[in-house]
Amino acid sequence: MTNLKQPEVEPLTRTQVLVAMAVTSAILLAIAKGWQQLGSVRLLPLEVSPTALGLGLGLAALIIASSSTIYRLWPAYRRSADVYLELVLRPLLWPDVIWLGLLPGLSEELLFRGVMLPALGLDVLAIALSSLLFGVLHLSGLQQWPYVVWATLVGTVLGFSALLTGNLVVPVVAHIVTNCASGCLWKWSQRQA
């Protein structure tokens, strides 16, 4: 892991990463709210319950375990993930990982699963389209295509969780926990190295 290629862009500072996360989240929330208002789209329900929280946590565990397995087995994904995580996580302090979970977890789920799925028809085609757009959102360079593939697959899983449960809390919890746990695991592995 110490022989990583440098990212295609200059390394970011902590402030740049946090501001980029905040601005991106604000833009995604504005798009979601605008689409909801202009398209008369009803937001997928947010119903907090022990079952929804448990499903979200279980889904997060499944995503984290799958990511870890794919990271070990697929070298192109490993390189892509390392570049992406180096760019985003390296400058952040440990407490910042909370923001890494909350800001994208909430804004991306509200747009891609909360508004986009109902607007596109709450079906498999809607999941496919929203998942593809979710994957493309994670494109930080042309060589990062394996990370986009992974994000698209995760978007598909999150989309099906929203569709099957009818509850936006499930993918929101899964997304937040996955981002926080992945960020902590990556920072821990870098500290050990």
Quote the CA–CA distance of 191 and 123 in Å, as a whole number.
Answer: 43
> What pLDDT does 73 receive?
97
> What pLDDT does 1 receive?
45
Q: What is the 3-state secondary structure (H, E, C) of 170-188?
A: HHHHHHHHHHHHHHHHHHH
pTM, full prediction: 0.91
Residue 19 DSSP code = H
Taking only the tens of pLDDT, the chain with its 193 residues reads: 444 454 455 788 999 999 999 999 999 999 999 999 999 999 999 999 999 999 999 999 999 999 999 999 999 999 998 888 888 899 999 999 999 999 999 999 999 999 999 999 999 999 999 999 999 998 877 888 999 999 999 999 999 999 999 999 999 999 999 999 999 999 998 888 7
Question: 169 to each of 12, 66, 108, 183, how far by Cα in Å?
Answer: 32, 21, 13, 21
Question: 122 to each of 64, 101, 102, 110, 157, how far by Cα in Å?
Answer: 26, 25, 25, 14, 14
> What pLDDT does 8 receive?
53
Quote the CA–CA distance of 104 and 46 in Å, as a whole number.
Answer: 17
Residues 6 or more apart whose CB falls under 8 angstroms from that of 160 comprise 127
Q: What is the 3-state secondary structure (H, E, C) of 89-105?
A: HCCCCCCHHHHHHHHHH
Q: Are 32 and 111 in contact (CB under 8 A)?
A: yes
> What pLDDT does 7 receive?
43
Q: Are 125 and 47 in contact (CB under 8 A)?
A: no
Residue 123 DSSP code = S
> What pLDDT does 6 receive?
46
Closest alpha carbon to 112 in 24, 29, 2, 3: 29
Quote the CA–CA distance of 70 and 106 in Å, as a whole number.
Answer: 25
> What pLDDT does 9 receive?
57
> What pLDDT does 2 receive?
46
Closest alpha carbon to 55 in 169, 153, 170: 170
> What pLDDT does 129 receive?
98
Q: Are 113 and 130 in contact (CB under 8 A)?
A: yes
CA 176, distance to chain mean position in Å, is 8
> What pLDDT does 85 receive?
87
